[in-house]
Chains A and B, each alone.
Chain A
């Protein structure tokens, strides 16, 4: 079945540091890939997505590129802010008729200190 493995946290960075959170996946077919973010006390929010190989998703300074050859979708940001402190989840959706179903990684807690 499908699975997502993401970098274990917690990750602690200073403001303006470079961020990478690794994510690799196992799936049949051609899944779409996602990063969701959960700020303290809030629901999961879609951060970015990519639907096919070599697509780059980007939002709020975050980027991730769908790499089929390495089955990866690593999240990066060049300069993090304190407000980026949250839990980040990598996810994939089934391909085909069950594309509504998301498989999530375990999440990575990011803390950014001033």
Chain B
């Protein structure tokens, strides 16, 4: 596609539920990134994929968070047993190679009630 697409744009879930957030990167981009932006803060790095593998998952806050990219294109961020503190905008970005000149999607706003 023309840009990075994230779905859904908004998600409201109850505390304790499981959620999946989807990212469709720019076609041909091998690198994919997830960031989390809490209210009033800048985005914070979560995980970086190069192809199908997670090259750096050091930003995932705990083992309730997991991300996959099985075919090296679409990625899914999975959050188990959601907590109210997980409420944030989750941003996805992609690039054609390693390096920070990447293109961000519009994000998924997750609200845990």
A residues with CB within 8 A of B: 4, 32, 34, 36, 41-46, 49, 89, 91, 93, 98-107
Contact = CB atoms under 8 A, between A and B. Distances in A.
A104 B43 contact: yes
B4 to A, nearest CB: 7
B43 A100 contact: no
Contacts of B4: 43
B20 interface: no
A49 B91 contact: no
A100 B50 CA distance: 11
Interface in B79-113: 91, 93, 95, 98-107
Given A43-B91, A44-B91, A99-B99, A104 B44 contact: yes
Given A43-B106, A43-B107, A100-B33, A49 B101 contact: yes
A106 B56 contact: no
Contacts of B95: 100
A102 to B, nearest CB: 5
Contact of A91 (B33, B42, B98, B105): B42
Contacts of B31: 100
A20 to B, nearest CB: 19
A23 to B, nearest CB: 11
Contacts of B45: 101-103
Interface string B18-52: 00000000000001010100001111110010000
Contacts of A89: 42-43
A111 B91 CA distance: 24
A89 B41 CA distance: 10
> Most A CB atoms within 10 A — which of B43, B44, B56, B106?
B43
A92 B42 CA distance: 12
Contact of B104 (A44, A49, A99): A44
Nearest to A104: B42
18 contacts: A32-B100, A34-B100, A41-B106, A43-B105, A43-B106, A44-B93, A46-B101, A46-B103, A49-B100, A49-B101, A89-B43, A100-B98, A101-B45, A101-B59, A102-B35, A105-B42, A106-B41, A107-B42
